[in-house]
A and B are shown apart, each in its own frame.
Chain A
Amino acid sequence: MTPAIELRATRRAFGDVVALDSVSLAIAPGEFFALLGPSGSGKTTCLRLIAGFDQPDSGTILLDGEDVTNSPPFARNVNTVFQDYALFPHMTVAENVAYGPRVRGVATADRSRQAHEMLELVRLGEFGARRPHQLSGGQRQRVALARALINRPKVLLLDEPLGALDLKLREEMQAELKGLQQRLGITFVFVTHDQGEALSMADRVAVFSQGRIEQLDTPRELYNRPQTAFVASFVGSANVVERAAAQRLTGNAQAFAIRPELIELLAAGERAPDGCVHCSGEVIDVLYHGASSRLRVLVDERTTLAVARAETVGGGGSGPAAGATVRLAWRPDHAVPLQD
């Protein structure tokens, strides 16, 4: 099947800074795809190249098998939801949504009907006559969605779509976006720095770091089988144990990642289960998170491990406090070996 989007060895540099370093990736039609990474990792540059707001220095961009590397944005069957929504302040909500059909020459009656349908789709049917500044952040976001979807694009690009919303709204919009994508069957590509967002919405995630894709996988694989130290710490907040520390802890010079919730906290004098790797250390601090607590334990002079400890119902037993000596154990198959 022809990929909806394909990047081949795409490179983009701004002066000395290489924003995107020979990135190749293929996104299947109908896929919900996330570009995840910290700021400056190249994910937004990647999105801008797909939209056509910027051209690569080298490499090829294909949309639906067609080379669009040097096509202007208006000639690409791709629409974008901008981070700041970029709603036209001098137009009403309905005029904003009808903008795509308008510049494509659709008759007034047709396009206002289409705009109304799109506004219904995002549950803003009664807001057509308002101006963007009269809407809340979440409503503006939905107008931006309706405006981008009215052209029936093959691909919808979303630049940090939930970044400007508060937590509760963000969770609602995650479910709404996912539902919308499934109903419309359009390829969604979204940029985010929030790993939770990427994991919960995307079918596949490309993790960016320093202009390269560190790992491209399903959320489950990324979380459970990170390949590099960067992915392990950025995506799962896992403990990353470097080679030297691994040698000291396990006798094996192989860097690995271990997630805090997979490390078992042993009671004083309790024997580690058979076959488990174990060590002892001193608790540096304890952060209470409600359902669980997170302890940082210094296991040798340079290595700290984060350990999650499930809290008991009712908030009884307070567990080890800072300064206490504890023993830790984990199953060797829970430690994920990392590439150097």
Chain B
Amino acid sequence: MPSRPGFSLQGRRSFYFALLLAPPLLWLGIVYLGSLFTLLLQSFYAIDEFTARIVPEFTLATYRQLLTQPAHVDIILRTLLMAVAVTIAAAVIAFPVALYMARYAGPRMKALFYVGVMLPMWTSYLVKVYAWRLILAKQGIASWGLAHLGLMGALDKVLEVPVVGGPSLASSYLGMFVVFVYMWLPFMILPLAAALERVPASLLQASADLGARPGQTFRNVVLPLALPGLAAGSIFTFSLTLGDFIIPSVVGAPGYFIGMMVYQQQGTAGNLPLAAAFSVVPIVLIGLYLMLARRLGAFDAL
């Protein structure tokens, strides 16, 4: 009976394929998903109030605590609002920049812009955050510049606004917002520029050809086709803001953010279940955000 080379070749090929895929799959499965699962599990564990020992017994008490204690709810809402505000601001600032980079800049200008957008990411994150604290401080360069422009009165007015304001930019939510937007802007610009670059020029010409004015072409063609890039960029800015604990602890008002709470609960306070429950919050929020984006058709053009 003739041998079946096709079969054995097939078998050998899938063996090599499995061999090749095993390391990354194991890494992803154990290191990423495994630790995520343990984290999730921790949030359902009980904690002994006297000894602060973690008891592996299933309980929803931590989540009840998370969602009913006003202080905790405040932290979640504060972080969520900041993430939404930062995402919107980043999108508004990034769009014209990305549009220019993708559609109007010549090759040299485009290269310059790409380097310019990425260059800040090559600097240490901590250095930038502390630099911003100095920039925004009461005697810092920001107020010095505004004073020279005769805008000190305007700054004082803004800082008097409750909640967003504060004694100085460096110790207000406004300052924190500025730093967040600065930090995550490249993460919005790059996917947006990539999405805009993929829109064929003929589609814009077709729109104009059919009678659309530039504004209509933008609304009907450019914006919908840029949505996947906008969605990708906003997932970055949204999730990075939700999880960050350094910026809120260095710049801005003293109110706690989710990231700081996780850091504190698993570190000094030693309440791992609560820290785990807090870190589940961004995951849930991003999941909800993705569902919303999908419902709104952000991925239809993919």
Contacts and interface: CB of A to CB of B under 8 A. Distances in A.
Interface in A233-248: none
Interface string A105-123: 0000000000000000000
Interface of A: 51-53, 72-74, 78-80, 82-84, 86-90, 99-100, 102-104, 147-148, 151
Interface stretch (B42-50, B84-92, B220-228, B246-254): B220-228
Interface in B188-209: 200, 202-203, 205-209
B203 A86 contact: yes
Interface of B: 200, 202-203, 205-213, 216, 220-221, 224-225, 297, 300-301
B224 to A, nearest CB: 5
Contacts of A82: 202, 205-206
23 contacts: A52-B208, A73-B209, A74-B209, A74-B211, A74-B213, A82-B205, A86-B200, A86-B203, A86-B205, A86-B206, A88-B203, A88-B206, A88-B207, A90-B225, A90-B300, A99-B207, A102-B220, A103-B210, A103-B211, A103-B212, A104-B211, A147-B206, A151-B211
Majority-rule SS of B interface residues? helix
Contacts of A103: 207, 210-213, 216, 220
Contacts, number: 68
A71 to B, nearest CB: 11
Residue of A82, A89, A100 with highest tally of chain B CB at under 10 A: A89
Contacts of A87: 206
B211 A80 contact: no
B200 A151 contact: no
Given A74-B209, A86-B206, 9 more contacts: A73-B209, A82-B205, A84-B202, A86-B202, A88-B206, A90-B225, A99-B220, A148-B210, A151-B210
A51 B220 contact: no
B224 A51 contact: no
A86 B206 CA distance: 6
Contacts of A90: 224-225, 297, 300-301
A102 B212 CA distance: 9
Given A89-B301, A90-B225, A103-B220, A79 B209 contact: yes
